[in-house]
Amino acid sequence: MYERKIPVDLTCPLRLTMSLIDSKWKSCILDELRGRAMRPSELHKALPEAAPRVLDIQLKELVDDGLVSKTVYPELPPRSEYAITPLGMTLIPIIDSMLEWGEKNKELFVRKYGEMK
Amino acid sequence: MYERKIPVDLTCPLRLTMSLIDSKWKSCILDELRGRAMRPSELHKALPEAAPRVLDIQLKELVDDGLVSKTVYPELPPRSEYAITPLGMTLIPIIDSMLEWGEKNKELFVRKYGEMK
DNA sequence: AGGTATCCCGAAGAATTTTTCTGTACAGGA
DNA sequence: TCCTGTACAGAAAAATTCTTCGGGATACCT
């Protein structure tokens, strides 16, 4: 795993919160898991633009940070499920306000940056 | 300036909003400017841990995105001021909820990651 | 002229994150 | 047996962001 060489000042509440969710797919993962627990393969299907390996890594970080929980069912074929934790749920209002902001202002930026498709 | 090779799907409202504020110092800059306009040198003093060049670049991007405005006073010595725009102000509730979240949960992560000084 | 201060910007390299490729392991089905 | 699906992880490459270094412009002051 990668070891940071330049520490971040997590004393700043803003940077602390940011550090937990500003990776490329973390906010999307939390948004997907808000309604129900999902299996890894489901998440991969739900976020097809994300490289599977990246999803796995960011999922693991979310688990390490206590925002998501992982349950492994000792079955065959193997099955596991990721669910948002109560702590993770407390971030949902932030996700929601970002969703709402993006919805309300998207025309502004689609015009500026193009469809980006 | 750097040209992206992998486009981001800004059709997703969450990723759109994120893309505007998830650079290292953008949220901090908006937080600093929320109260009053500031000169670049003031911002550098307010955020001493940020490399000045990075602040300049991110400030410029915020201006390009319409979240911050720049006013240059044709004086000598030169003076300019950055202020948050009405559009930028609509992001403040999001910043606030992140500040609040970080404040409320910081002990959890300080314990986990250390003081990070 | 040499020093200050202000603001801005280019370029190279380091740091970090993301992407891609590859490999492990298990068991069911053709 | 070979191929499939599921889940996970190492390692190298590529992409992106951040850091550092240094320069340019202007006009003031000594």
User: Can you list the domains of chain B with their CATH numbers?
Assistant: 13-113 (1.10.10.10)
> B47: closest CA among B62, B66, B32?
B32
Residues whose CB falls within 8 Å of the CB of residue B57, separated by 6 or more in sequence, listed in order: none
Alpha helices (H) in B1-91, listed in sequence order? 13-21, 26-33, 40-46, 52-64, 86-89
Q: Which residue is nearest to nucleotide D10 (CA to C1')?
A: A1
Q: What does the alpha-carbon distance between residue B32 and residue B84 come to, in Å, rounded to a whole number? A: 9
pLDDT at A116: 41
A23/D10 CA-to-C1' distance in Å: 21
pLDDT at B116: 41
Q: What does the alpha-carbon distance between residue A83 and residue A81 come to, in Å, rounded to a whole number? A: 7
pLDDT at B112: 56
Q: What percent of chain A has pLDDT over 90?
A: 79
A49 neighbourhood in chain B, CB within 8 Å: 9
Q: Which residue is nearest to nucleotide D7 (CA to C1')?
A: A78
> A84: closest CA among A54, A24, A43?
A43
Contact B21, A109 (CB under 8 A): no
A110 neighbourhood in chain B, CB within 8 Å: 10-11
- Is the pTM higher than 0.75? The answer reads yes
| pLDDT, chain A, mean | 91
> B20: closest CA among B86, B72, B87, B80?
B87
- For residue A14, what is the nearest residue in chain B, using CA coordinates? B99
Q: Is B113 helix (H, G, I), strand (E, B) or coil?
A: helix
Residues A62-74: tens digit of each pLDDT: 999 999 999 998 7
pLDDT at B117: 36
Q: Read off the pLDDT of each residue in A73-89 and give the average, rounded to a whole number.
A: 89
By C1' distance from the Cα of B1, the closest nucleotide is C10
Contact B14, A28 (CB under 8 A): yes
Q: Which two tokens stand for residue B60?
A: 């410029």
Residues A10-33: tens digit of each pLDDT: 999 999 999 999 999 999 999 999
Contact B82, B70 (CB under 8 A): yes
Residues B35-92: tens digit of each pLDDT: 999 999 999 999 999 999 999 999 999 999 999 999 998 777 788 999 999 999 999 9
A115 neighbourhood in chain B, CB within 8 Å: 11
| pLDDT, chain B, mean | 91
* pLDDT band at residue A117 using 50, 70 and 90 as cut-offs: very low
